Amino acid sequence: MINVVIVDDDSFIRESLKVLVGMDPEIQVSGAAGDGGEALKLLENGAEADVVLMDIRMPGIDGVEGTRLIKRDYPKVAVLMLTTFDDDEYIIEALKGGASGYLLKNIPPDRIIQGIKTVHEGNMLIHPDIARKLASFLQPAAAETAPRPLESYGLTKTELSIVSAIAEGFSNKEIAAELFLSEGTVKNYITEILSKLGLRDRTQIAIFYLKNQR
């Protein structure tokens, strides 16, 4: 059972999402909140959450800041952003704060449910266009910090291939098929990559790659 907390300042949308998401037998809605601060309090008060489904623009503590706070205190909780806005800067800041991806609110309910399951499995949901824009946003910072060649981090050829695939939004299953590995082996590689680079999750791997590619 996947425990989900829904965060949206619009009570109608919040209640609608509770009904739609809760219809899936593998998902349980364990809480709902009106902004990122309320969501954090829910977790602090013991609400179980594997995935937080979070609106990106809200009064009070918005989705970007809410993501940062939740990932700071609950790093194993996946945050999936929901937006009706074509607002790349907000999305990119949320990804940099640890969000596992984003979805548009107007997509069919089954796509939202699949998105929840995807990020719960440790995968990312980043559209290629956003990945490219994320790279361009990071270019000034990368120039200032003199990025090192990826090979200098002690990653093997296979690990470098996996890092690149994660940055492109590939799931473990897709990476396994591409590299002729089992999904379990891919997961083991990712654990080793996180350890070598001192990173927290797949989102940080993607950002690391985009900052250091030449």
pLDDT at 34: 96
Strand order in the sheet with 78-83: 27-33, 2-7, 51-55, 78-83, 101-104
Domain ends where: 110, 125, 140? 125
- Does 116 lie in the same domain as 25? yes
Amino acid at the residue 174: E
As a whole number of angstroms, the distance between CA 195 and CA 197 comes to: 6
- Does 118 lie in the same domain as 24? yes
- In this structure, what CATH number is given to the domain that contains residue 159? 1.10.10.10
pLDDT at 2: 97
Helix 183-197 to helix 157-167 angle (10° resolution) is 90
- Does 162 lie in the same domain as 75? no
**Domain that includes residue 208, residue range:** 131-212
Domain ends where: 125, 145, 179? 125
Query: Is the full-model pTM beyond 0.85?
Result: no
- Does 143 lie in the same domain as 119? no
- Collapse the DSSP code of 208 into the 3-class scheme (helix H, G, I; strand E, B; otherwise coil) and give the result: helix
Beta bridge partners of 103: 82
Decide: 146 and 101 in contact? Cβ < 8 Å.
no
- In this structure, what CATH number is given to the domain that contains residue 10? 3.40.50.2300
CA-CA-CA-CA torsion for 125, 167, 197, 135, nearest 10 degrees?
-110
pLDDT at 143: 45
Per-residue pLDDT 10s for the chain (214 aa) are: 999 999 999 999 999 999 999 999 999 999 999 999 999 999 999 999 999 999 999 999 999 999 999 999 999 999 999 887 667 778 888 888 889 888 888 888 888 999 999 899 888 887 656 666 665 655 544 444 555 777 788 899 999 999 989 887 788 888 999 999 999 999 999 999 999 988 888 878 887 887 776 5
Domain ends where: 99, 125, 151? 125
> How many domains does the structure of the chain reveal?
2
